[in-house]
Amino acid sequence: MVLNLCIGLAQLNPLVGDLEGNSHQVVLAAQQAVAGGVQLLVAPELVLWGYPPRDLLLLPSLLRRQKKVLDALAQALPEDFWVLMGVVETMGDGGECPLQNSAALVGGGSWQMVAAKRLLPSYDVFDEGRYFRPGRKPCLVEVPILGQPLRLAITICEDLWADHQKPHQPTYSCDPVAELVPLGPDVMVNLSASPFALGKHQLRQNLAADAASRLGCPVVYVNQVGGNDELVFDGNSFVVDAHGAMVLQLPSARPATNWVHLTLPQQQQQQQTAESVESAESKVQSLTITSPQGELWKALLLGLGDYARKCGFRSALLGLSGGIDSALVACVAAGALGAKQVHGLLMPSAFSSTSSIADAQELAQQLGMGTTATVSITPLLESFAQALHLPLKKRPDGVTEENLQSRIRGTLLMAMANQDGHLLLSTGNKSELAVGYCTLYGDMNGGLAVIGDLYKTDVYRLCHWLNSPDAQEQRRAAGWPTQGPLIPEAILSKPPSAELRPHQRDSDSLPDYAILDPILKQLVEHHCTPDQLIEAGEDPALVQHIWGLLRRAEFKRRQAPPVLKVSGRSFGMGWRMPIATC
């Protein structure tokens, strides 16, 4: 006996807390899927709530609303059609943690809870143990498809990540995939809300392929897409066959609904027909292969665009300095929001070079930015210096005078953002945040740190890519020139400088970024200790110097704007270091 299944993937972009709006997205995806002959549609983890809902889960009124929303959704779906979707389950047994991260099967005019997440991550940005209790048994449900029972194994996100054979994976007391093997499922689905990080997409595919091999059946992986606060979800949903071969791939960084036809022998060792695989492979081959820099670019655009849209901003403002960091932020903002919705303020001082002002103006013209204005901070700095002369008993100098310049600029930017309703974008990078080479209430001002998870060397790499022929497609999509450099070459070639004193360079205070960034990456993202780096051959004095800067800057990072997370570990939700420590 065989089962002919058309299974759909709804890669959706939910708004956290908008249960009705998110349910409407599911209905629209269902309507599209029905037209394609789909019988079962799979939506992401907690799609009804958006991920992560965090302390919204503590509001009883929202939990009560979920039942009404699911009731209405069940009535809105077509006949003989099922949706498997991520929801919250309220446990009525009086236990200490009354919620589960669950999956509901909706169809036939009703709905039921059919699975609960087994593994609750508590590392990096995840804190699910605060809200949920884990499921205690393998999750398999029979779904009637064309009069035949489909044995559907259900896993939720982290449940796929417990393979003890894989290095660098979290250690758990159970392996949900292994526990499904004796149950002989026809298909396994994984409902996910997995944030973007470079290289993570391939790891997900490897885990799914291994699960397919162990279970002897296809695996359907459906991921959330979109930006929610600091997190960017890249989508990249897919289906692999029983041999782990890719048979359907959804796009990255945008919502999509698609489906695949599977012919399933209903026995433990599953195989697809050659016809099914050939049909699906044509879809895979039609997708464009994107470079790592292209994936990073799309993630930044998605994160900024959704942050602005979901927070109610239509336009953005940033300080244009003629430096590489503000240049990249301007490019990302223009690509995400539209160039005419991005505004720049140039704030030269007596220490600003003429070339920096010209470079900033050239960039704004290249991008087609909405407006740019220039305000000299020299008279404002003089006014502050005179006002502080009496309490200080001298004119402020040294770092105090440098920070005053940054804070004057921060005040001007905040005033313009307040007046015109812009989202102010911070232009600091990860290297600066790591070592404290930034000014509180100055260049750290802003509602979002767009490149706060990119080291300085990453910034240069992405800018060079934007200027290369490899980025022609992205530049064309943004309406920018596709020939020649987008970012003026002078910006890329000049030595990095804050221009807060005569002839200043970043290298006066910091190691060269080519030396600094690899050490920072080991300390921040790989959890290395200074002793480990020294044992590996790094210079002891240099490592201890960088380690000291990293620790002493914690109080600044605690007051920084949200950082778009694009690496394995960013400053923000996943960075939980104490301020006061030895």
Angle at 227 between CA 221 and CA 232, to 5 degrees: 60
Residue with tokens 């600094």: 516
Indicate which residue of 157, 217, 331, 438 is catalytic: 157
Query: For 267-273, which contacts have Cβ atoms below 8 Å and span 24 or more sequence positions?
Result: 267/184, 268/184, 268/216, 269/216, 269/242, 270/186, 270/187, 270/215, 270/216, 270/217, 270/218, 270/242, 271/241, 271/242, 272/218, 272/241, 272/242, 272/247
Residues 6+ apart with CB under 8 A from 140: 151, 152, 153, 154, 180, 183, 185
Amino acid at 86: G
Indicate which residue of 89, 117, 331, 456 is catalytic: 117
- Nearest Cα to 524, choosing from 468, 582, 570? 570
d(CA 138, CA 150): 16
Whether 134 and 127 have beta carbons less than 8 Å apart is answered as no
Amino acid at 335: G
Indicate which residue of 45, 128, 402, 538 is catalytic: 45
Residues present in the chain in total: 582
d(CA 367, CA 354): 21
Angle at 528 between CA 523 and CA 529, to 5 degrees: 95
- Nearest Cα to 229, choosing from 15, 444, 539? 15
Kindly state the tokens that stand for 469.
Answer: 């022929």
CB atoms within 10 A of CB 327: 27
d(CA 575, CA 558): 10
d(CA 9, CA 7): 7
d(CA 307, CA 489): 30
Whether 317 and 423 have beta carbons less than 8 Å apart is answered as yes
Whether 369 and 344 have beta carbons less than 8 Å apart is answered as yes
- Nearest Cα to 153, choosing from 120, 191, 100? 191
Q: Say whether 393 is catalytic.
A: no
For the chain, helix, strand, coil in percent to 5 are 40, 20, 40
d(CA 63, CA 59): 7
Q: Say whether 117 is catalytic.
A: yes
In 108-186, where do the E strands start and end? 110-116, 140-145, 148-156
The SS3 call for residue 153 is: strand
Kindly state the tokens that stand for 506.
Answer: 């970043």
Q: Say whether 45 is catalytic.
A: yes
d(CA 16, CA 3): 37
Kindly state the tokens that stand for 262.
Answer: 């599977």
Asked whether the bond before 561 is cis by omega within 30 degrees of 0, the reply is: no
Catalytic residues: 45, 117, 157
